[in-house]
Structure 1
């Protein structure tokens, strides 16, 4: 039997679909591109219009007031490293890209995860999809995004969102499934509404696992942002790519450490803010 007759090529099947989308939904994709570029540009302008030391001071003060002094010190060190390494502008571009991507990923994943925790049939349906999404190499997500949105930051943020959804969704489902049944029964016995049970009982109880999901979402988003430097997304990913292509170990190492600093910054700020919110609600 001829091997060509049984060979399976996903690309051959998907290419006509992508061509059809580009031909029939170009105005929509153009609108999405404009919205994303405008949002990212506005946030970058806000961060870059002030001197670096002013931004660092503001972040440190707000971290100390909203979370605690330890998180404020960590924030100052992380941003200070980005500044003194000479990668401030690239760091702010990456910070904006990752922050927007993570926020959108959480907004999409959280309600789906809650629904999956409440409906085992729905969970069984989406589980294979999540398995595939987490198994596929991250750079594969860039291929259809680039084919639809061309090069730049838009395909990078689309691919980052898609890659960040599965861990947050899985751990959201797990977090709500682990909420003690006696707490739910107590809330129902006291006549609390489903909304009150969700915000007063389930979310506070699920917070530790939700924080793990948020942490994974941040780390994976930063990982694919580095790969996004290959498609012209800019930021620290572009600096890592430049260091690789020019064989400049110093540049690649500095950019890599700056990515680690941003990961620590986002993790500590998000973790501290959520824990403070829960403590406030309990009090």
Structure 2
């Protein structure tokens, strides 16, 4: 038997996907226009907010937030890191990238957490969602840009859409993992007291799963930052555009400076979201002092009662 007879017929998966994209472009243009307008308005609005204050003013605001939530180390890093970004004349590009990452992270979180909760509460949903998440995580990020350009043209919108798709899976997985990892006895105790399922979810499961959920949000933000350079390829601008320009010109200095600015943003957002999972640093310290102060009189009274 010849090799031609043994060869399997080609399955035109790419052509089918191309036909689907064409159909969506022709019939759902109104939907994509609405989504694109909302994303563009969000990114532009947040960029305007971030650039209202001068670099020094916003740096101090970000440092105070870091000081309250994480501690003096992150506060000091914020001042030094963002001062370095400003000294490299990359402040506006950094704020553009920060706005893009924050919008992408918010959209991803709003979509990922409900899906994770549904997957944790239903095995059927979990079995359906899991292969979809595998597909989203393993597909090369560049591939997402092709339909995104078709649907939303060039600019920040396709960058945000591709970033949301690429960054969402960890948020779904860790939310499901956190809720499924809650001690069943805690849930059974709530059910024994007649607590409705909705309150068990909001009062028991989600609070106990919050460290895992926040770890998912942290990973989601980190993946969003990793897409900054790729988003620059479709005209999203920001630090991705700076790095891409350095690559095109083989300008090592420009590319390295853009990469350093991305690292500063990544460290700041990583430490900040990590601190949110534990609770604000200053509030933790205040709570510990009050609890210690309240414990001393009780201990003294207990000792006095024992001596008597």
TM above 0.5, yes or no, is yes
What is the Cα-based RMSD across aligned positions, in Å?
2.4
Offset from partner CA, 1:42-71 (integer Å, 9 cap, x none): 111111122100000111123323443333
The answer to whether the 8 Å contact 2:70/2:271 transfers is no
The answer to whether the 8 Å contact 2:211/2:277 transfers is no
Confirm or deny that 1:251 pairs with 2:260.
Answer: no
Q: Which residue of 2 aligns with 1:171?
A: 174
Confirm or deny that 1:215 pairs with 2:218.
Answer: yes
Q: In structure 2, how many angstroms separate the alpha carbons of the residues matched to 1:149 and 1:246?
A: 28
Q: In structure 2, how many angstroms separate the alpha carbons of the residues matched to 1:193 and 1:267?
A: 36
Q: In structure 2, how many angstroms separate the alpha carbons of the residues matched to 1:252 and 1:4?
A: 47
**1:245 Cα shift?**
0.7
Q: Which residue of 2 aligns with 1:272?
A: 275
The answer to whether the 8 Å contact 2:232/2:241 transfers is yes
The answer to whether the 8 Å contact 2:66/2:272 transfers is yes
Gaps of 5+ in 1: none
**1:170 Cα shift?**
0.9
Greater Cα offset, 61-70 or 234-243:
61-70
Confirm or deny that 1:39 pairs with 2:42.
Answer: yes
Confirm or deny that 1:99 pairs with 2:102.
Answer: yes
Q: Paired residue for 1:134, among 129, 137, 145?
A: 137
Q: In structure 2, how many angstroms separate the alpha carbons of the residues matched to 1:159 and 1:257?
A: 23
TM normalised by structure 1 equals 0.91
Q: Paired residue for 1:200, among 172, 194, 203?
A: 203
Residue 52 and residue 217 in structure 1: after superposition, are their counterparts in 2 closer, same or farther (change >3 A)? same
Greater Cα offset, 223-232 or 5-14:
5-14
TM normalised by structure 2 equals 0.84
Greater Cα offset, 241-250 or 73-82:
73-82
Offset from partner CA, 1:175-202 (integer Å, 9 cap, x none): 1111111222223334444344333322
Q: In structure 2, how many angstroms separate the alpha carbons of the residues matched to 1:5 and 1:272?
A: 55
* Length, aligned pairs only: 283
Offset from partner CA, 1:82-132 (integer Å, 9 cap, x none): 222221111101101011101111110101101111111211122111111
Greater Cα offset, 86-95 or 196-205:
196-205
Q: In structure 2, how many angstroms separate the alpha carbons of the residues matched to 1:254 and 1:142?
A: 25
Matches within 5 A, 1:56-95: 56-95=59-98
Q: Secondary structure at the match of 2:50?
A: helix
Larger Cα Rg: Structure 1 or Structure 2? Answer: 2
The answer to whether the 8 Å contact 1:139/1:224 transfers is no
